[in-house]
A and B are shown apart, each in its own frame.
Chain A
């Protein structure tokens, strides 16, 4: 189970889980789940196009992911953000359908991009994933404070001189990079489940941003490891286990919150009151509320 090609699968999946946990935390905080769903699927169109003209899949994927992320950011500045995301998503998918209809052979390799192929990862892909992963994590570390502030309290961030729109564009590019690194190995659908499920669950257990971030990474790794082991044992797709485990962890988190609430109302009041304050102190503001 840990030998040969499986070793690559474990390494790559762990790297993807760490990055998904970190970037996913901000995705959930900013309410950008739709973008996290749309950008990988746009990358899918790029991969189909790259296969058509015979260039590297990674290049096509990256180009389309960045283009779609930036156009969502630009158009979303004026129109409704979610509607613009939907438009970008369907246009890219339509383009993908067109590319697929042009390619002569049956494009099973491209379909693998939707559901992923974590059990067939080559050493070259491990290296590319590692490099892109380091870039994404360093970008988040550098932007940590302004990004956190702009995500939680945009008005306060604006008042303190943080360019919230520029922050959003940076974040969208990070999502596009994460997509590029993860989609060839784990697939567009699985990456989305990981980026929303793990941080969504983590936020139910703690209010401290750094704590939630670490917990999100931990849950994300747990989900991936259990999923690979289960997939190895049953031969069922990895994506199934990741999607369902994400929902299970999330429901567990909601159960935990409900249990805490019923355990004591006084305790709960304190819990709710300290939430925004802790986020605020962590970002270095007072206790302002938006």
Chain B
């Protein structure tokens, strides 16, 4: 029995302090990202979610340049970026897409400058790698209270705005008619996303930040159409892939070809892709069965109905 356990969990997994911090912080980040991410996917703001992470990276390199705490660099730049997107963007999705792109392009340019100035002045080239790819095993335990506070802030915004957010995602006109301040709700949501994304960016890196924001939520929304259930699924998937990814990265320490261990980010994104493809397959099967049933019931009259796209949450 213990041989099997040792095979799955390399000796020392539970005793290692960095692993324990990674499991706690990674889990918290995955949880917050999954909840926020469900709304990101429903509202079709994946690009903004990813861009806020890259903008946070710009802030991180800026903070590195002036020797400030990187966390504040991430948070401040992500919020500034969210504000700029809101300023340029309109309600039309394509214009919003372009505005996001412009802000992202400018942010990446500034990041290039910060990294250039930072690396030529202090010659610590490793910083580029850490900032871009992040590492869960370098989190300091003393930062945990700040993370917890900001996570609660992001979750509180989403919880308070739950109904108006869903309503304005389904139809801005209906939300407007019902007296929902659509613009304010949008700005507040962007703020929550900026906080959540910058937190995940500083702890687990820009790649994983987008992965845990969009991946579990997208997979969950293939499994169910009900928002509450989708949030629960997303949280379960997010926690599972993050913890499994950490475990595999720890186990991979002696794997070929280098004997240095494989990166956590690879394991997590690979697991997320597998889960999404399985969820896609499951929803396709469900559709086919529902389609066959409808066909049998109506004797071929229900031709082109597509059960996966309810009017409430049509594919964006």
Contact = CB atoms under 8 A, between A and B. Distances in A.
A90 B211 contact: yes
B19 interface: no
Interface stretch (A92-100, A133-141, A271-279): A92-100
A77 B101 CA distance: 22
Contact of B110 (A81, A115, A244): A244
Interface stretch (A4-12, A54-62, A120-128, A189-197): A189-197
Nearest to A245: B109
A84 B269 CA distance: 13
Contacts of A79: 218, 222, 280, 315
A240 B117 CA distance: 11
B52 interface: no
A94 B41 contact: no
A101 B260 contact: yes
Interface string A19-48: 000000000111111101100000000000
Interface residues of A, number: 55
Given A33-B47, A80-B41, A193-B109, A89 B270 contact: no
Given A33-B100, A93-B207, A246 B41 contact: no
Interface in A197-243: 197, 200, 236-237, 239-243
B266 A98 contact: yes
A247 interface: yes
A240 B207 contact: no
A82 B47 contact: yes
B214 A236 contact: no
B258 A37 contact: no
B238 interface: no
Q: What is the interface residue range for chain B against chain A?
A: 35 or more
Nearest to B214: A86
Interface string B95-107: 0011011111111
B108 A91 contact: no
B262 A189 contact: no
Contacts, number: 186
Nearest to B104: A37
A219 to B, nearest CB: 13
B268 A94 contact: yes
A243 B284 CA distance: 41
A196 to B, nearest CB: 4
B311 interface: no
Interface string A65-83: 0000000000100111111
Interface of A: 28-34, 36-37, 75, 78-87, 89-91, 93-95, 97-98, 101-102, 104, 106, 108, 111, 114-115, 189-190, 192-193, 196-197, 200, 236-237, 239-244, 246-247, 250, 254
Given A91-B272, A192-B105, 16 more contacts: A33-B47, A34-B97, A78-B284, A83-B46, A83-B217, A87-B218, A87-B272, A87-B276, A90-B214, A94-B207, A95-B269, A101-B261, A189-B111, A196-B102, A243-B105, A243-B106
Interface of B: 41, 44-47, 49-50, 88, 93-94, 97-98, 100-113, 115-116, 125, 128, 132-133, 207-208, 210-211, 213-215, 217-218, 221-222, 257-258, 260-263, 265-266, 268-270, 272-273, 276, 280, 284, 308, 315-316
